[in-house]
Amino acid sequence: MKKNITIAVIIASVFMISVFALLRSASSLVANLGVEHRTIMVGDDIFSVDVSDSEEERQRGLSGRGRLEEGSGMLFVYDSPRIPVFWMKDMDFPIDIIWISGGRVIGAELNIPVERGVPEAEMRRYSPPDFVDMALEVASGTVSRLMVTVGEPVSIEKDN
């Protein structure tokens, strides 16, 4: 009898974990519907990015996603130059942020850690050194690995 209960508990646990993983994947897919995808070049390096150009998309950012593939990212585009504030609310993986102004890299935040369990009021905020018209979030370690430097040109592939 105890053996049957143990097996039932194990099966139920595996089922619940599978359902949770499926729901998380589905919510990430739904969150990305309607998001514009573009190719951006930073120096000689190419990234496939989701473009975040509305206030709602910028607030959601990469939160709720399980990871960020190498060579991909999220590009935040602003109508006018500003000094945006980023934080790691609801993020599940660390990132780098590349600050862009006038088609050039003006700075970067490296290896920004996840802040699970930290109250919102105590979460660290990240801002560029000057006004930007774009910010690019990429996988943590990308800026160092690709040796992205201040002054590098940035271009976005035009629609065909």
Domain ranges of the chain: 1-33, 35-156
Residue 27 has pLDDT above 60, yes or no: no
Residue predicted with more confidence, 68 or 13? 68
The DSSP string of the chain is -HHHHHHHHHHHHHHHHHHHHHHHHHHHHHHHTT-EEEEEEETTEEEEEEEE-SHHHHHHTTTT-S---TTEEEEEEEEEEE---B--TT--S-EEEEEEETTEEEEEEEEEPP-TT--GGGS--B--SS-EEEEEEEETTHHHHHT--TT-BEEEPPP-
pLDDT class for 95, splitting at 50, 70, 90?
very high
Residue predicted with more confidence, 50 or 147? 147
pLDDT at 58: 54
- Mean pLDDT in residue range 86-95: 90
Residue 118 has pLDDT above 50, yes or no: yes
pLDDT class for 80, splitting at 50, 70, 90?
very high
Share of residues in the chain with pLDDT > 70 (%): 68
Architecture of domain 35-156: Sandwich (2.60)
